[in-house]
């Protein structure tokens, strides 16, 4: 992969470049000492996959630079700073950065973060390629019979069961709902190819309620079951977050933690849950907000990728 480093400290740039090259992570295709020197199109021409950028710089800081290049730059951004202000870190994540590294930089943390972003980038590219290929196949083969469709649905459920086991929630009540959701999405994609985007979560839960209770069920019962399904799924996803965070807390380089945590959850949420688990005996915390849609989409596309490759 191609890296670009922007930091007004030459020593930091040199250290980051050395880590990247010594560990064979890729090639550093450019450096600069201020955000004002960066343009999105230039970064794209250099085929930059990952931009490492300092928060505080003399002319244009990291946040302003991300806003400036965001409309055109296609790569990922890792921000580096000695400032630990929650407000600034939150603003950086809202602007779309992948991760935030605190100075003074630590080689182990730098390697862990870069490798996660690299894996995330590869997964995204793989999913996009699979999506294009699958859409082409589905458009050419709209005459699939019901028996073959059921077989494919069964297949995607098999791969999803493996993923749920990897994520530590195969025994949760909500895991059955998640399997049904994936089967629904697979059949939905065959008909619509996600041209208008994926269906909303409410639409998905309404489908599950109708499938379980039948078309003749009372409207109130359907609404109640849809809400119950949503709660089961939420609890299962929360348990997965807790499971992965526990793995990361024990060993930051744990293979499952590295592979799944940033792919299925926002990194800020994972880090927050790790902090909560670490201080669990001393403090009480408000419930962690979970991006259920991100988790479900990641689960679907990862299960489909495994199914097609298998």
CA angle 109, 61, 270 (to 5 degrees): 35
Q: In angstroms, how far is CA 164 from the centroid of its own chain?
A: 16
pLDDT, residue 143, reads 47
CB 181 within 8 A of CB 208: yes
Is the full-model pTM beyond 0.85? no
pLDDT, residue 29, reads 92
CB 92 within 8 A of CB 62: yes
DSSP single-letter state for residue 82 = S
pLDDT, residue 135, reads 62
Domain boundaries, the chain: 2-121, 144-309
- Of 96, 135, 22, nearest to 267 by C-alpha is 96
CA distance 39 to 151: 49
Mean pLDDT by 10 residues, the chain (310 residues): 92 93 91 90 91 91 90 90 81 85 90 89 76 62 46 72 90 91 89 78 91 87 93 93 89 83 86 83 59 90 83
pLDDT, residue 231, reads 93
Q: What topology is assigned to 2-121 in CATH?
A: Rossmann fold (3.40.50)
pLDDT, residue 277, reads 85
CA distance 230 to 60: 44
CA distance 54 to 13: 10
**Long-range Cβ contact pairs of 57-61 (< 8 A, separation 24 or more):** 57/6, 57/7, 57/8, 57/33, 58/8, 58/34, 59/34, 59/35, 60/34, 60/35, 60/36, 61/35
User: Tokens in use for 276?
Assistant: 């909560």
pLDDT, residue 177, reads 94
User: Tokens in use for 49?
Assistant: 């996959």
């Amino acid at each position: 992969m191609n890296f670009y480093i922007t930091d007004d400290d030459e020593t930091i740039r040199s250290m980051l470049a050395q880590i990247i090259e010594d560990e064979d992570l890729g090639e550093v295709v450019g450096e600069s000492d201020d955000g004002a020197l960066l343009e999105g199109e230039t970064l794209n021409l250099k085929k930059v996959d990952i931009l490492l950028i300092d928060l505080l710089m003399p002319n244009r800081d990291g946040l302003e630079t991300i806003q400036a290049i965001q409309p055109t730059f296609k790569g990922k951004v890792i921000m580096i700073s000695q400032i630990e202000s929650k407000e600034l870190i939150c603003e950086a994540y809202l602007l779309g950065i992948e991760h935030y590294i605190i100075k003074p930089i630590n080689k182990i943390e730098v390697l862990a973060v870069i490798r996660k972003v690299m894996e995330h980038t590869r997964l995204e590219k793989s999913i996009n390629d699979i999506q294009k290929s699958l859409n082409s196949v589905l458009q050419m083969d709209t005459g699939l019979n019901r028996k073959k469709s059921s077989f494919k649905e069964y297949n995607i459920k098999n791969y999803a069961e493996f993923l749920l086991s990897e994520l530590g929630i195969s025994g949760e009540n909500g895991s059955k709902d998640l399997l049904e959701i994936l089967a629904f999405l697979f059949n939905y994609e065959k008909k619509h190819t996600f041209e208008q985007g994926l269906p909303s979560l409410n639409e998905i839960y309404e489908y599950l309620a109708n499938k379980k209770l039948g078309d003749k069920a009372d409207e109130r019962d359907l609404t109640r079951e849809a809400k119950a399904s949503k709660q089961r799924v939420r609890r299962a996803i929360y348990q997965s977050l807790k499971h992965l965070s526990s793995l990361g807390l024990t060993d930051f380089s744990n293979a499952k933690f590295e592979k799944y945590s940033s792919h299925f959850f926002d990194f800020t949420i994972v880090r927050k849950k790790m902090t909560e688990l670490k201080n669990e005996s001393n403090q009480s915390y408000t419930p962690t907000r979970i991006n259920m849609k991100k988790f479900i989409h990641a689960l679907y596309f990862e299960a489909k990728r495994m199914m097609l490759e298998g």
